[in-house]
Every structure is written in C-alpha cells, then in structure tokens.
Structure 1
C-alpha cells in the first residue's frame, strides 16, 4: 500500500504505471501429497495477485505471478525426510517414494540464471502473462496435464506413490 503511489496509483500520474510481479510456484497449480500447506500458501499468492491486478486496473498497474517449478539452488541439498516414529507407519513408505520423485525433479531443475532472465523478461514485457508457469518440459509436465481430468491425475499419483 505504501509503494502504490510509486507505481502510479495517484491522480494525474505523470509516468507510465508500474508492474507488480509476485513469485508463486507450480505447486499452487499442482498440489502433491504432504505439501498441502506449501501449495495452499502459493495458491493464496495467485489469488491475491489476481484480485490486486483487478483492483489496480483503475491506475493501469499490472500484477502478475510467476509460477516456477524446481530451480537449481542449494535448497535441494537441505531437505530432510522425517520418517521417524512420530510419522504414522502408513505414510513412511509413501513419503520415501515421494522424496525419490522430488530428488529426480530437482536434478532437472531450471538454472537460477535462466529463471532470473525469465523474471527480467516479464518485467520488460508490456502485458506479460498473468500467470507464467516456468518449468522444463512444460508441455508434458503442465500443459498436457490440464487436458486430463483431475481424477485421472489422482490415479497417476496413487500409482506412482503405490498408495
């Protein structure tokens, strides 16, 4: 709210209105088991940005989200899997299988410089996508899945994790 005047949310603004770029995640669009809190928080970022964009239409200020998949950063080496006694037995094997999938995805992560270039391109673009999913093999890992019924995807997840 304090920065909106700097973006052009003032009467008779003498400069081109600015742009808000919020970082979300592909997890906002593809919630996986045991990642519900993270996915929910990212979905909230998407909804917040959509509402903000529409509230700021009057000033011509744009608001968009970038929804990256895995990005090659040191965070992947810091993930610890808790499958101790406090985790119910029914979840332990599923969590281990999920972590193998996460590890595999992390090896195919987007290089941080490539992601930074994409963010800069979004900043430079006059009317960027309102929600830009940035992931390797986007057609197979995202676009194609949008054509498949959600219950079928649930079945794929059930099969992959051997639930």
Structure 2
C-alpha cells in the first residue's frame, strides 16, 4: 500500500492532493487544524483518507501524528510526506510588523522542517523499517525563485524552502530518501483571498505604497481566481511521489513563457522595471 502524509490539507492544494491520491489508491493521512475540516474532507473522499489534527507549528501535534502513522505502518516505511502547509500576507517589508514576518517562517519554514525531521525515520531513516525509502515533497512557489514586491515575507520563506529541499536531497541520499520541490504559479486556492481578508482593514492604507499595493492585490486575486485548478497540482504531486526517475523540481505554471521562463532569464534590474511599471512604482522626482 502507498501511504502519504499531507500537511495543510484543509483547503486548496492540500485538500485537492488528499482527495486525488485517495481516489487513486493511496492511503492518505491528511493534516488539518480543525475537526470540522477533518469531517468535511472525509465526507468528500472517494478513497482512504485518515484526517489528522496537525498544526505544524505545534510539536505535540506533530509527535502525535507521527505516532498514529507509525502504528498504522507496522514497521513499513512511509511512501511520502507532502509539506504543503503555508500562509501568505501581503505588505511592504519596510513597515510590515516583525511578528507577522516571523509567523510566515514559523509555518512555512520551521513547520516544514519540524514535520520533515519528525517523519524522516518513517520515510526510511530508521533502517529497521522494511520497504522502499520514501520521498519528501515540498510545495514551494514561483516566489521561491522570483521575489515580487509586497510578498517579501512569503517569498523569503519559499526561497528558504527551495534551498532546504536541495540540502535535504543531498543529505538524505545515504538513506535513499529523495526530496523534491514543486513550485506552482497561480493556483485557484483560497490563500490570496485569506491574504485580502487580512488586509481588509487597510493596515497600509496610509502608507506611501497604498496605491501600488491595491493594484498588486487585484493582480494576485485575479491570478488566484484564473490560475491552475489545484487538481492539476495534485497530479504533479503524484508524479513526484511515484515516478521512477523524478525531477528535482517541478514548475506547474500557467502561461509558462511569460510567468516563468522570461522572469528567470531577465537581468534583475530589468525585472525591477517590469514590476515598477506594472504596479505604478517609481523613483521620486528630484
């Protein structure tokens, strides 16, 4: 039996991956933070989904989840861990509250590492287990390679996750455990709606960036609503988990030429100009 743990499975990519993999024969341990989300996910499932109350910022919940999964495995290895839990809040780095910036790292980076360390023995670092070594799949973002204005906290964490994925892959090879990054572009998920709600009271409305930030919010929200269906990312996750010769990184990005290849090839100063023009940012008149 193929077994996988998915964090952040209440909505969006995590929920889509849980439902898709369960439907295709996987036993899915789906990490959610509320019992209501667990019940809703179970009700929608067409396969074997086993919800776990799992907040990756809480060590006791991570430890309890590991114990539950370990008991189920009965000495076998876990096939995969999908680190998907994440948060995003928009704001200019120069004035974004430090606690808000730290919160991104608590979930997106430290939570990811906490889960990876906790489940690594089940993936094969415990050599007493039988079965093929498993894989760690880290959900990053286009923002893991290209930093947009007003998403500094989010993109900083995704850059960190890109680096951590490479380091994990190069270190865990001695146990046969692989680590793979999946960096989607715009996806139809609630994450940007949540970001809009967080900014609905206008915390930066009186700042020098208010007009540019409003334009940026609308671009991000439109991208989220017109982006790839999360089920498409779920299919990529299964490929990363199951392919005999997986890539080190997958980039499921809509309009890939303009949203991925060109931004990665442009000199940084030229890309600066693209962002400035798009969001009405410019140098002050002398």
Please say whether Structure 1 and Structure 2 have the same fold, judged by a TM-score greater than 0.5.
yes
13-22 or 49-58, which deviates more: 13-22
Q: Unaligned regions of 5+ residues in structure 2, if any?
A: 1-116, 282-286
Q: Residue 48 of structure 1 aligns with which residue?
A: 164
8 A Cα contact 1:83 1:95, kept in partner:
no
Aligned to 2:143: 27
Name the residue aligned to 1:63: 179
Of 8-17 and 120-129, deviating more is 8-17
Unpaired stretches in structure 1, ≥5 consecutive residues: none
Change (3 A) 1:35 1:12: same
2:154 corresponds to: 38
Match of 2:243 in 1: 125
Tell me what 1:106 maps to: 224
CA RMSD of aligned residues (A): 2.2
TM-score under structure 1 length normalisation: 0.87
Q: State the alpha-carbon separation in 2 of the partners of residues 85 and 127 from structure 1.
A: 47
Pairwise CA distance, 1:2: 4.0
Which structure is higher in RCO with an 8 Å CA cutoff and minimum separation 6? 1
Q: How far 1:158 sits from its partner (Å)?
A: 0.7
Query: Cα offset for 1:92?
Result: 0.8
- Offset of residue 152 of structure 1: 0.4
Give 1:91's match in structure 2, choosing from 199, 209, 219.
209
2:187–2:223 Cα contact (<8 Å) kept = no
Q: Output the TM-score relative to the length of structure 2.
A: 0.52
Q: Supply the distance in 2 between the matched residues of 1:28 and 1:118 (Cα, whole angstroms).
A: 17
Query: Shift in Å at residue 145 of structure 1?
Result: 2.1
Q: Kindly indicate whether the alpha-carbon contact (under 8 Å) linking 1:108 and 1:136 is maintained by their aligned counterparts in 2.
A: no
